[in-house]
Amino acid sequence: MITVAKFIVIAFGVFFILAGFVMLLYPKRARQTLRKAGSTNFINYAEITLRMIPAAALILYADYSKYPMVFKLFGWFMLATSIILYLVPPKLHHQFSNWCADMLKPFYFQLLSPFAFLFGVAIIYCVI
């Protein structure tokens, strides 16, 4: 179980690195993807359920990571916010994601991309 959690956490870090590349190289596509959050029941609940997987992995692997408390806090935060999102109507979730996409112009995605890279690398570093 711990080995599976470890690889899920590593995959989560890789996901952030890849998201950083998308944000840097294809900021309009990143913005379009943000607009889709909560757009349909399937997308809404699939997105929330999928984010619960790395959240649980962070919690399970925390004691084996370089920063156990950070992993636990971040994992529990992701899990709690996922549960809250299950209770929020998908239409409201979608409206919020559109509001965020309106605020975040493509240039801002490019400015934020290094943080996605760093976050992904930091997650992997804490596991390896």
pTM of the prediction? 0.87
pLDDT at 76: 98
Number of domains the chain contains: 1
pLDDT of residue 111: 95
Give the pLDDT of residue 128.
87
Categorize the per-residue pLDDT at 47 as very low, low, confident or very high, splitting at 50, 70 and 90: very high
How many whole angstroms separate alpha carbon 127 and alpha carbon 120? 11
Domain with 85, as residue range(s), is 2-127
pLDDT for position 37: 87
Outline where DSSP puts E strands in 5-128. Answer: none
Token output for 29: 């596509």
The CB density around residue 103, as the number of other CB atoms within 10 Å, is 8
**Cβ pair 51, 43 in contact under 8 A:** no
Q: Are 74 and 51 in contact (CB under 8 A)?
A: no
**Mean per-residue pLDDT over the chain, rounded:** 94
Cβ contacts of 88 within 8 Å, gap of 6 or more: none
As a residue count, the chain comes to: 128
The rounded distance, in Å, linking the Cα atoms of 115 and 118 is 5
